[in-house]
Amino acid sequence: MIDFKYLLYKLRQNPLSIVGIIIILIFIVIAILAPVIAPPPEGTIDPYQIPRYGFSPTPQPPSAEHPFGLSEGQYDIFYGLIWGTRSAFKVGLLVIGSVVVIGILLGSLAGYFGGTVDEIIMRIADIFLAFPALILAMAITVALGPSLNSVILALITVSWPIYTRLIRGDILSVREEDYVQSAKGIGASHSRIIVRHILPNSIYPTLVMASLDIGAVVLSAAALSFLGLGAPEGYADWGQMIQFARNWIVGPPGNPLAYWYTVTIPGLFILFFVLGWNLLGDAFRDILDPRLGKR
CB atoms within 10 A of CB 283: 22
- Evaluate whether 10 touches 267 at the Cβ level (below 8 Å): no
Q: CA-to-CA distance for 76 and 238, rounded, in angstroms? A: 12
Return all residues near 93 (Cβ < 8 A) that are at least 6 apart: 214
User: pLDDT tens, 217-267?
Assistant: 999 999 999 988 988 889 999 999 999 999 999 988 889 999 999 999 999
The pLDDT, as a whole number, for residue 151 is 95
- In DSSP terms, 235 is beta-bridged to 49
Alpha-helix residue ranges (DSSP H) falling in 175-203: 178-185, 190-192
Q: CA-to-CA distance for 126 and 15, rounded, in angstroms? A: 39
User: pLDDT tens, 104-132?
Assistant: 999 999 998 888 999 999 999 999 999 99
- Evaluate whether 208 touches 293 at the Cβ level (below 8 Å): no
Q: Is the pLDDT at 2 greater than 60, yes or no? A: no
> CA nearest 209: which of 171, 173, 172, 163?
163
Write out the H or E segment, with its range, that includes residue 228. Answer: none
The pLDDT, as a whole number, for residue 114 is 87
Name the band, by pLDDT with cuts 50, 70 and 90, for residue 3: low
CB atoms within 10 A of CB 232: 12
The pLDDT, as a whole number, for residue 289 is 60
User: pLDDT tens, 27-56?
Assistant: 999 999 999 999 999 888 899 999 999 999
The pLDDT, as a whole number, for residue 288 is 67
Q: CA-to-CA distance for 94 and 170, rounded, in angstroms? A: 24
User: pLDDT tens, 53-77?
Assistant: 999 999 999 999 999 999 999 999 9
Give 12 or 246, the one with higher predicted confidence.
246
Mean predicted lDDT score pLDDT of the chain: 89
Q: What torsion do the CA atoms of 235, 241, 242, 247 make, to the nearest 10 degrees?
A: 100
pTM (2 decimals)? Answer: 0.90
Cβ-count burial 29-39 (b if 16+ within 10 Å, e if not):
ebbeebeeebe
Q: Is the pLDDT at 95 greater than 90, yes or no? A: yes
Q: CA-to-CA distance for 237 and 112, rounded, in angstroms? A: 41
The pLDDT, as a whole number, for residue 48 is 95
